[in-house]
Amino acid sequence: MAARGYSKIQVSDLAEFEAKAELKRLAAEIAENDRLYYQEDRPHITDAEYDALRQRYNAIEARFPDLRTLESLSLKVGAAPTGRFRKVRHAVPMLSLDNAMTEQDVIDFAARIRRFLKLGEDERITVSAEPKIDGLSMSLRYEDGELVTAATRGDGSEGEDVTANIRTLKDVPQKLGGRNLPKIAEVRGEVYMTKAAFLALNERQKAAGEQVFANPRNSAAGSLRQKDPSITASRPLGFFAYAWGEMSEMPADTQHGMIKWFEHCGFKTNPLTKLCHSVEELLAFHRHIEERRAGLDYDIDGVVYKVDRLDWQERLGFVSRSPRWAVAHKFPAERATTKVRGVLITVGRTGVLTPTAQLEPVGVGGVIVQNVTLHNEDYIKGIGNKGEVLREGRDIRIGDTVIVQRAGDVIPQIVDVVIDKRPKDAKPYQFPKKCPCPLHTDVVREETATGEEGARRRCTGEFACPYQKIEHLKQFASRRAFDIDGLGEKQIEYFFEQGWVKEPADIFTLSARNRTIKLEDIEGYGATSVRNLFNAIEARREIALDRFIFALGIRHVGETTALALARGYGSWDAFHEACLEVAKGDAEAVAEMDALDQIGDTVIQEVAAFFGEGHNRGIVERLTKEVRILDVEKPKKDTAVAGKTVVFTGSLEKMTRDEAKAMAERLGAKAAGSVSKKTDLVVAGPGAGSKLAEAKKLGITVLSEDEWLKLVE
């Protein structure tokens, strides 16, 4: 579902229409790998490969902020808890890191920090550097020095309670050492298994005829998630402390100081951690650790850099799911050679036809690769986004020998074709002109907003195309939407084919109709599994507004955009009414939506198109009769600007615009992109233009930068 030759094209060269499709394709891969990694402990790709996938996704979102599209994962970390343990809500979200894949990425990271904080070139930025352990993230909560809860990362907001198992680890103190301890201290780090222990465990597992783990990370995760703590205790797990969550008071004012405090409390920290004072030192440290990697008795997949000063960390804040003050510099991945057996065409939720190369299975970095996306017709032909020919004469054909890589821009990807090994009878691949659905609807090449020919081909069947309907339902029930346990892709396809579930509301009436369906009599089901499915459906009759908006499947409205819309309107009634007015072309409603931060013309057009279609309105009306949509929680922060909508305009002199927005959001305010009747404050610096004029026209309070800082101090 991506556009032309993405694996060969820099994000800076992507056209907007191509970026939209690329985000969707990337998100689908990320979501599936999240599920395999966090819930099933059996990843199909390495961490380096996964992180490279995230890096490209984030880079596209950064360049096209209005796209925050379907499958936007900016606010998500990991996967939802599996349900096997009690859920624990993290007091402070457990976020993950953005990634640097090249040395230039590290140089850019340092430059962004300097730019964000308005630091002079002569001001030194001290950075703490440490090996990135490939294990299972853990948060340990201590109250009055006593361990009370241990929780996995989960989805970043909510994890699983594994306290009983964690208590068996010798590296985790039951009581913190030292005096004058904070009343509340959340220590975070990584649970891991040494390579030697992993090999020994696998030998024991094999001898007992039990599961053999793929790598030490899986082994650690599997050991920690045992229902019986004695099993965990029998497996040698270690723990490195390197971060923190909620702290009633801070014992130090630097990252390095906090590491020393962890040691003082009785925790093991990584002895290879080092303070660096320049980009050159960071890169030298990365090369040094990579050289030592093979000799370490635990797995690492890169190096983590963190700004050392905690006051600078606070100012830098976060971007969606990642801190601005830290980055993971990953190690490069491996390549392998294999053959293309065939090309499979799938139809996505929006009708886009996506080709996938079916490969002879090949191992790459310890993972078996059998399928690789080919994005679209132009990618197969080797045509770039500006019409240029990529890999001249190296179009991908069935029978070709190709070089596969599961890292870099897109994972997995074909990075080249070995022309010398091409079969003589190999013919250029002909993209289908008909949809593979039973209707065999015509396929057309879509156009861009400027009237140019796009890279993707789309089925013209729209709502008549069963493949598109099925994909809509799959998204609706997916983890990031309604998250209905037991209603996966195969079940949805089967229920759709049987005519039992044709639209979302049908899911919630399935139990009532089961007297006729008698699902328990179907092969593969039974009374218990049917009861569990219906219970899971009932448990999802109440849903957060942002997840509901995402579940509707509006084009270009992914998780980040859905969250922005939910926060902007607060309730389903307000959002629904606004959407109907936008669909009618009401100028005031359009302006109000446009004023929301991260919302632009593309999203507004798709919202109007969705709610302007009677078929969609009917689906929504029937669905809202079956579920309860929760209002957005109001900000809990007790500050002078909590709950207010703030617009920054002009040149700010004491901080960058990005830092000002981050400050507002940290204080519980909403940072909007334009002025509307619902704007509460406008902070204007020198050179403020149309936004300042609009604020004065609407009678909105206008503050200078100094007045804003005084208000929030």
Which of 456-492 are b and which e, b meaning 16 or more Cβ less than 10 Å from the residue's Cβ? bbbbebeeebbbbbbbbbbbbbbbbbbbbbebeeebb
Out of 132, 661, 670, 691, the active site residue is 132
Distances (CA, A) of 435 to 278, 385, 439, 713: 55, 24, 8, 60
d(CA 378, CA 5) in angstroms, rounded, equals: 7
| 421 CB-near residues (< 8 Å, 6+ apart) | 400, 401
Q: Can you name the residues that pair with 175 across neighbouring β-strands?
A: 146
Structure tokens at 96: 């993950």
Contacting residues for 451 by C-beta, under 8 A, at least 6 apart = none
CB contact burial 213-236 (16+ within 10 A = b; e otherwise): bbbbbbbbbbbbbbeebeebbebb
Q: Is 584 a catalytic residue?
A: no
Residue 438's φ and ψ, nearest 5 degrees, are: -55, -25
The amino acid that residue 691 corresponds to is K
Q: Which residues contact 614 (CB under 8 A, 6 or more apart)?
A: none
* Half-sphere exposure at residue 681, Cβ-oriented, CA atoms within 13 angstroms: 22
CA-to-CA separations, 538 to 483, 512, 534, 545, in angstroms, rounded? 12, 12, 6, 17
337: left (phi > 0), else alpha (psi -120 to 50), else beta? beta
Count the neighbouring beta carbons within 10 Å of the beta carbon of residue 436: 16
Sign of the Cα torsion 618, 622, 623, 628 reads: positive
The CA angle 134-139-143, to the nearest 5 degrees, is 155
Residue type present at position 518: K
| Pairwise CA distance, residues 106 & 280, whole Å | 10
Three-state SS annotation for 316-334:
HCEECCEECCEEEEECCCC
Instruction: Kindly report the number of other CB atoms within 10 A of residue 419's CB atom.
Output: 11
- Return the SS3 of 644: coil
Identify whether the C-beta of residue 30 lies closer than 8 Å to the C-beta of residue 54: yes
What tokens were used for 544? Answer: 């957060």
CB 218 within 8 A of CB 43: yes
660: enclosing H helix or E strand: helix 657-666
Enter the tokens of residue 433: 């002109």
SS3 (DSSP) at 543? strand
DSSP 598: T
Secondary structure E strands in 531-667 = 542-544, 628-630, 645-649
Distance between CA atoms of residues 140 and 143, nearest Å: 10
- What angle do the packed helices 466-477 and 489-497 form, to 10 degrees? 140
* Both tokens assigned to 613: 């279609």
Catalytic residues: 132
